[in-house]
């Protein structure tokens, strides 16, 4: 029987035929698709005609489409619905893909053809998008070793192979550590302080594993309520220590050596390519341009945020001492006493809010906001395949009824799914042969599951997470570019968080909340006093939160902007030094963040974690524009859609942003919103 992955999918909207794919299909499909892609590359390289934009640059852009499609299906499953077989295939496939990628970028004759077009670019009369594509293709070669001597190319190949395997192993270890840990409570008194929903979920989890009592894990919907509400300090400590020591036990799941190996290989690679450090290599293609500018940006924010953070921390410490006689606040006390203090100051408890945020209503709310802003319509459909029963599937159309996107949403934790929340795509948008091929976009989260007595009720933090990922999804859905590699979220990493972070703002606005924040039993709209409290508390502990994000950004830079990381022998000691200037809580010797810092050692955020704060500057500035005109103002929404969401990476992001906003972003907007300046 022919391999389903190598045929044209006979499915509605050309969606992935998950139910027909056997895991054993993947490896042979990858091998064949790589072989086919190589043939396409050979055809470009061996073309007897002189190089042109069409026969070289465009041909290269559209080569390997099938391989890209198989890769997106496979690696998305490896994140959201993995198992031992898939992980084993990933370890086999990653070096093959790395090798193929190097076969392309290190192909001398192919680079000569690309270079020939690049040299004549000024006389080619290219569109803006074509110019960007040409520039991207040329740099894709020059930045990845095309100008190296043959012996150095071989070293680069070896480094890339090793890196692809190491980052996979890093992620597998973190997932295994998360899945492995369980805290079983058998004494009901030890559940004191926990919300009823968290207790019920823990009971249900224990029952599902044939255990007596209440089971808590490191999955966020289990971990966060416990660390926030459990009165028993010793148990909070136990769970926090387990979460903070993932990959740091000196056993077969330990990530310390992997971190050092990744950092050293990235440095070696950058040096080989003529860059001072990995960060210099990465940031050349970011809005920030250099590590020096990133460090200046983070330290400038630190200067503004640190006094506020120290003041907030002192108040929190005094509050904990007053309330429970706690002399020294520890990391496992932060969320607990912050929540208690927030309740005291604002009379606002997440548990009071949750009944108004039934998952289905919040999803509908996100859809309504997207409809009011961008004229999008979402219709749940049941005629396409899913990779798991939990997944919801939608057809997205515009007001003319034209297909805009297929949308997958996957909200609950399970053992084959990594923690956190992310947006991804199963198929990019592009235009070819007169057809605008629409994208297939997915968001994946880990929210509180429904229980026997309650639907899935979200914390306010989960509500903003859903809107955040939905913002990324809109960036993917509304893509309207010619070339797939410039489409949707294929933008500079410090720009990619703008659409996601700006969407979070609607969660704080009365006009938006009234659309979806309804009590799950009475259907009563969220009371105005609660809306006011949400807004008033929006900047609660903003100094501490900002300091936390800055600390992660500085840790990332400490690993990647350093010359000679080979001198680092202790991951823990290096991390302690990196955190020194942003530290509030006492250090916990048994804990280490780097060994589970998946963003930078498994995801694509190495030298890029600062981009969350960078994009906050953009999003605060952008949302001020909406606030001035009205949060559902069509003119501003259209400007945002036409100049940011639909444009992908076809132009420098600052040009796109200024076209939308009329000026460069002002950091004061963020500091104002955060309450750090008046």
Specify the DSSP class assigned to residue 483: S
Q: How far apart are CA 270 and CA 432, in angstroms?
A: 36
Cα–Cα separations (whole angstroms), residue 160 to 157, 257, 374, 433, 465: 5, 17, 41, 35, 33
Tokens of 600: 């930078």
**Which positions ≥6 away from 519 have C-beta within 8 Å?**
355, 356, 526
Task: Give the N- to C-terminal CA distance of the chain in Å, as an integer.
Answer: 68
Q: Could you confirm whether 469 is annotated as catalytic?
A: yes
8 A C-beta contact, residue 255 and residue 173: yes
Q: Do β-strands 440-444 and 392-397 pair in parallel, antiparallel, or remain unpaired?
A: unpaired
Tokens of 565: 């990381």
| Structural Rg of the chain based on CA atoms | 25
Selected catalytic residue, list 172, 351, 469, 542: 469
Tokens of 316: 């929190």
Phi-psi region of 607 (alpha: psi -120 to 50; beta: other; left: phi over 0): left
Report angle CA 201, 595, 92 to the nearest 5 degrees. Answer: 90
Tell me the three state secondary structure of residue 13: helix
Residue whose token pair is 């949707």: 488
Q: How far apart are CA 58 and CA 397, in angstroms?
A: 29
Closest-CA residue to 159 (of 33, 262, 26): 262
CA atoms in the 13 A half-sphere facing the CB of 545: 14
Residue whose token pair is 């604002």: 346
**Which positions ≥6 away from 316 have C-beta within 8 Å?**
329, 334, 337, 338, 341, 541
Catalytic center residues: 469
């Amino acid at each position: 029987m022919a391999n389903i992955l190598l045929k044209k999918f006979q499915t509605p909207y050309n969606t992935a035929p998950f139910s027909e794919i056997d895991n054993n299909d993947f490896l042979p499909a990858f091998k064949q698709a790589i072989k086919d892609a190589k043939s396409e590359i050979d055809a470009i390289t061996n073309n007897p005609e002189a190089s042109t934009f069409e026969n070289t640059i465009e041909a290269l852009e559209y080569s390997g489409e099938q391989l890209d499609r198989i890769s997106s299906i496979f690696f998305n499953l490896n994140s959201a619905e993995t198992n031992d077989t898939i992980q084993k295939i990933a370890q086999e496939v990653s070096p093959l893909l790395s090798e193929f990628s190097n076969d392309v970028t290190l192909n001398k004759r192919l680079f000569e053809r690309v270079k020939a077009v690049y040299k004549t670019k000024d006389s080619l009369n290219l569109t803006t998008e074509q110019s960007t594509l040409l520039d991207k293709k040329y740099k894709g070669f020059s930045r990845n070793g095309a100008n190296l001597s043959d012996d150095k190319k071989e070293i680069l190949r070896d480094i890339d192979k090793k890196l692809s395997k190491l980052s996979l192993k890093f992620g597998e270890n973190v997932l295994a550590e998360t899945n492995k840990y369980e805290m079983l409570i058998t004494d009901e008194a030890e559940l004191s302080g926990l919300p009823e929903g968290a207790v019920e979920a823990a009971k249900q989890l224990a029952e599902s594993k044939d255990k007596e009592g209440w089971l808590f894990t490191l999955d966020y919907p289990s971990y966060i309520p416990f660390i926030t509400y459990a009165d028993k300090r010793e148990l909070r400590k136990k769970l926090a220590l387990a979460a903070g020591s993932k990959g740091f036990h000196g056993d077969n799941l330990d990530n310390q050596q992997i971190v050092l190996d990744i950092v050293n290989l990235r440095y070696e690679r950058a040096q080989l390519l003529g860059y001072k450090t990995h960060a210099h290599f990465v940031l050349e293609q970011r809005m920030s341009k250099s590590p020096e500018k990133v460090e200046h940006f983070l330290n400038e924010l630190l200067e503004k945020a640190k006094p506020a953070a120290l003041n907030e921390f002192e108040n929190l410490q005094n509050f904990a001492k007053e309330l429970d006689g706690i002399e020294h606040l520890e990391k496992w006390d932060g969320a607990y006493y912050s929540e208690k203090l927030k309740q005291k100051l604002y009379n606002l408890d997440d548990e009071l809010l949750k009944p108004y945020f039934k998952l289905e209503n919040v999803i509908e709310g996100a859809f309504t906001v997207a409809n009011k802003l961008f004229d999008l319509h979402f219709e749940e459909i049941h005629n396409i395949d899913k990779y798991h029963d939990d997944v919801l599937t939608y057809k997205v159309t515009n007001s003319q009824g034209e297909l805009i996107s297929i949308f997958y949403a996957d909200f609950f934790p399970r053992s084959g799914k990594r923690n956190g929340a992310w947006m991804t795509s199963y198929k990019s948008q592009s235009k070819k042969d007169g057809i605008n091929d629409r994208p297939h976009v997915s968001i994946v989260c880990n929210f509180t599951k429904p229980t026997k007595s309650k639907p899935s009720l979200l914390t306010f933090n989960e509500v903003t997470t859903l809107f955040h990922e939905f913002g990324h999804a809109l960036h993917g859905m509304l893509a309207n570019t010619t070339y797939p590699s410039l489409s949707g979220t294929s933008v500079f990493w410090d720009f990619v968080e703008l659409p996601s972070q700006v969407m979070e703002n609607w969660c704080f606005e009365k006009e938006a909340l009234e659309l979806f924040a309804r009590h799950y039993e009475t259907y009563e709209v969220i009371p105005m006093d609660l809306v006011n409290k949400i807004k008033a508390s929006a900047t609660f502990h903003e100094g501490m939160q900002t300091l936390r994000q800055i600390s992660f950004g500085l840790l990332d830079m400490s690993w990647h902007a350093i010359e000679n990381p080979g001198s680092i022998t202790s991951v823990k000691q290096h991390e302690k030094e990196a955190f020194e200037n942003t530290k509030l809580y006492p250090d916990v010797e048994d804990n280490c963040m780097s060994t589970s810092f998946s963003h930078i050692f498994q995801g694509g955020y190495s030298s890029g974690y600062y981009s969350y704060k960078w994009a906050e500057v953009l999003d605060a500035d952008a949302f001020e524009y909406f606030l001035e005109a009205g949060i559902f103002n069509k003119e501003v929404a259209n400007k945002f859609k036409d100049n940011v969401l639909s444009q992908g990476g076809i132009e420098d992001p600052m040009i796109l942003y200024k076209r939308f906003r009329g000026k460069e972003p002002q950091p004061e907007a963020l500091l104002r919103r955060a309450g750090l300046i008046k």
